[in-house]
Amino acid sequence: MGLRIVPLASGSNGNSTLVEIGGTRLLVDAGLSAKALGVALESVGVAPGSIDWIVLSHEHHDHARGAVRFSRKHNVPLICSWPTLDAMEASPAHVASWQPLEPGRVLDLGKVTIDPFSIPHDAVDPLGFVFEGEGIRVGVATDVGHATARVVEHLQDCHVLLVESNHDDDMLRDGPYPWHLKERVRGRLGHLSNYEAAWLLEQVVGDNCCNVLLGHLSEQNNTPELAVESARKALARGGRDSIEVRVAERRRPSPAVEL
Ligand SMILES: [Zn+2]
Ligand SMILES: [Zn+2]
């Protein structure tokens, strides 16, 4: 049964990733419309109604846009923290059912556990996740202002990692964004640069790691080539050249990672 991860979309236009461990299907973030999520899932052979849980990292539209509607339409329970649900102006009555999530408290779903941890970002209760089941660890952390000790500690020794590699520092500095937006993106509650993502990977990657997915790339301030090169260089420094590094596609499903 094993593991299957399919990033359905990644970036400020919308984020959602199918994480399937031991037959349990999780939709991690739902930042497309409910309809677009359904289309994306069907395009990779997954019936929307077969999703077991939706898990949300934070309330920003590019992560939560379709969550409430998808939950109701396909009768899929929603897992997120109370502050996040509240910030979405939703309540448990608006969704099929709601399961609270608290940073630092592991949630046991039977075949999969979710270990949610706080990440620095300008949302009410932003979370990163480690999903674990069948002896496989999957780390997901996008929208990370900076890599804190907590982030580094949680993402240790994952088999597969999906981490943000948002911008190239030079492209952001010289690019078209207005000053206040540049400051937000590179601020400590903004987004992780290629350089910071590479540093984070160096800290957390262990012998078990076989796949790294780089996500949430900026369309204006990054290129897939720069992001991959930066991560590969960092991994090579630690003698980990054999790890596969890929970029999650922005607007369509990426090839599946399967273990
Ligand atoms: Zn965000
Ligand atoms: Zn985002």
pLDDT band (50, 70, 90) for residue 133 = very high
**Chain mean pLDDT for the chain:** 97
Cα of 119 from ligand 1 centre, angstroms: 11
3-state secondary structure 105-174: CCEECCCCEEEEEECCCCCCCCEEEEEEECCEEEEEECCCCCCCHHHHHHCCCCCEEEEECCECHHHHHH
Cα of 136 from ligand 2 centre, angstroms: 26
Cα of 123 from ligand 1 centre, angstroms: 7
The dihedral through the CA atoms of 226, 144, 30, 79 has a sign that is: positive
Residue 76, Cβ neighbours under 10 Å: how many? 23
C-beta separation of 162 from 248 below 8 A: yes
The ligand placed nearest to the CA atom of residue 145 is 1
In whole angstroms, give the CA distance from residue 80 to residue 226: 33
Question: What is the reported pLDDT for 103?
Answer: 97
Q: Please tell me whether the overall predicted TM-score, pTM, comes out greater than 0.85 for this model.
A: yes
Taking only the tens place, the pLDDT of each residue in 159-210 is 999 999 999 999 999 999 999 999 999 999 999 999 999 999 999 999 999 9
Q: What is the CATH number of the domain that holds 143?
A: 3.60.15.10
The ligand placed nearest to the CA atom of residue 10 is 2
CA proximity to 51, closest of 85, 32, 24, 80: 24
Domain assignment of residue 228, yes or no: yes
Question: What is the reported pLDDT for 211?
Answer: 97
Cα of 235 from ligand 2 centre, angstroms: 25
Cα of 42 from ligand 2 centre, angstroms: 23
Residue 206, Cβ neighbours under 10 Å: how many? 12
Domain assignment of residue 258, yes or no: no
pLDDT > 90 fraction of the chain, expressed in percent and rounded: 99
Domain assignment of residue 169, yes or no: yes
Residue 219, Cβ neighbours under 10 Å: how many? 11
Cα of 77 from ligand 1 centre, angstroms: 22
Q: Work out how many domains the chain is built from and give that number.
A: 1
Domain assignment of residue 181, yes or no: yes
Domain assignment of residue 259, yes or no: no
In whole angstroms, give the CA distance from residue 94 to residue 114: 23
The ligand placed nearest to the CA atom of residue 15 is 2
Write out the two tokens for 99.
Answer: 């399961």
Question: What is the reported pLDDT for 26?
Answer: 98
Checking if the pLDDT of 1 tops 90, the result is no
Taking only the tens place, the pLDDT of each residue in 9-52 is 999 999 999 999 999 999 999 999 999 999 999 999 999 999 99
Cα of 64 from ligand 2 centre, angstroms: 9
Cα of 143 from ligand 1 centre, angstroms: 5
In whole angstroms, give the CA distance from residue 257 to residue 179: 38
Domain that holds residue 94: 3-253
In whole angstroms, give the CA distance from residue 256 to residue 161: 13
